Amino acid sequence: MARRPRAPSSSSSLSSATAPHSDPRATMATAPPRILLCGDVLGCLNHLFKRVQSVNKSTGPFDALLCVGQFFPDSADGLDEVADYIEGRSAVPIPTYFTGDYGVGAVRFLSAASKLPSNRGFKTDGLEVCPNLFWLKGSGKFSLHGLTVVYLSGRQSSGADESGIYSEDDVGALRALAEEQGIVDLFLTYPGVSCGADTSNTPPVVADPSGCDPLVSELAAEIKPRYHIAGTKGVFYAREPYTNNESLHVTRFLGLAAVGNKDKQLCAMKEVNAYITLLGHYITVVIYICLPEIYSCDFSYSSIYDVNGRGRTERSCWFCLSSPNVESHLVLSIGESYYCALAKGPLVPNHVLLVPVDHCPNTLTMPLDTETELEKYKSALNIYFKNQAKAVVFFELIFPQSPHANLQAIPIPLSKASNVKRIFNLASKKLGFEFATLNPGLTLDARPRFS
């Protein structure tokens, strides 16, 4: 069987070089991290932090703020505002991380920060510039509240102004990190990916190849992050998600406008581990609990049989991750014994499947020790849909020649949830059979199982 990508173990609530937080199941038992993102700050710290405090008060609390692009101002006019925070006259409201050492005042303030005793040594999680403000220098990988964050701090060399550029060593370090196991959640860069690809729905200012960095595109292809976040040409831009070679997850690119930008473009992207939505003009929220939106089409369980009515072999099974026929773009997360995927033909939006990784006919034949993971997936889906004022109906079709188990998860309005049992019983009577109700208090090992 071909090797399949796996979610790393969840031995720690924080990530390390092996990114244990990337395990989809790790977020099920703990509160998901809530991260704010913004583009070029350009020294407008009062404007930025006023907005952060407002958002934090209304929809927070948030764990951190990540800033991509140019953090320091373009002119000396903005230096006093920056100095107020760095020198302690104003307070940074939440832990804030920024990339780039360019702009007026950058060398002055960051050189001083680099000499602080607390910033000596190899620190990939940011040099502390002042309380709650951290500079992501060069390139690196670190854990942020259970998320793996990889960054490239700086711009491509233009041959003229050599300040604020990334080095060959920075790029080499990221290429080495790309070889490590585990999924990268956020990849932070200043320039975006090469704009030559997929420009059909791209704003003209973004599609213009000037300012794009092909090397960043190469790194994104090697790192395969869930989200690539970049400052980009003064506008907000979210491109279509794209697939990666030898990877079951997609990458979503998000280009963020500068702080104070008036371009009101809204973003709403959902996946099993992340929910991103634009707040105001330039800040986005990342909440790791949601699902992609997908719209309904026909659903038929008969499609799992071949034309002669024979059950599929393991190699040709549509649900086996090792099969060349697997619809990998629908897979949302992979655990040890189960994976979660979008239904190819959903009955309703957000219809998902919980599928055993191993080839087995139904979930009742799965080993007892896999039940805990299945219950965690179900619990996570219940929490997500409850936040949308919906309940979940789980059902599984089991018949003699079932080739590969798949537990269906169908969201319904909470207002209709109390009628589900009655409707199921009415339907079964019309078909000449009855449902047996199990005691919900039964332990996992006491539930009926098939041999």
Q: What pLDDT band is residue 403 in, cutting at 50, 70 and 90?
A: confident
Confidence of residue 386 (pLDDT cuts 50, 70, 90): very high
pLDDT, tens digit (0-9, with 9 covering 90-100), for 56-110: 887 778 889 999 888 999 888 889 999 999 999 999 999 999 988 888 888 889 8
Contact present, 250 and 342 (Cβ < 8 Å): no
pLDDT confidence band for 374 (50 / 70 / 90) = very high
Higher per-residue confidence, 264 vs 382: 382
Q: Which pLDDT tens digit goes with each residue over 23-49?
A: 333 333 456 788 888 888 889 999 899
Nearest to 66 by CA among 290, 327, 213, 284: 284
Rg, Å, the chain Cα set: 24
Nearest Cα neighbor of 286 from 6, 35, 19 is: 35
- Using 50, 70 and 90 to split pLDDT, how confident is the model at 445? low
Pick from 56, 250, 28: nearest CA to 146: 28
Phi and psi dihedrals of 143, rounded to 5?
-100, 135
Per-residue confidence (pLDDT) for residue 382, from 0 to 100: 92
The model carries a pTM of 0.54
pLDDT at 314: 59
State yes or no: pLDDT of 303 exceeds 80.
Answer: no
- What is the spatial distance between Cα 302 and Cα 177, in angstroms, rounded to a whole number? 44
| Domains of the chain, first to last | 20-287 (3.60.21.10), 306-446 (3.30.428.10)
- What pLDDT is attached to residue 24? 34
pLDDT confidence of 381, banded at 50, 70, 90?
A: very high
Residue 234 pLDDT level (bands cut at 50, 70, 90): low
Task: Give the per-residue pLDDT at 409.
Answer: 95
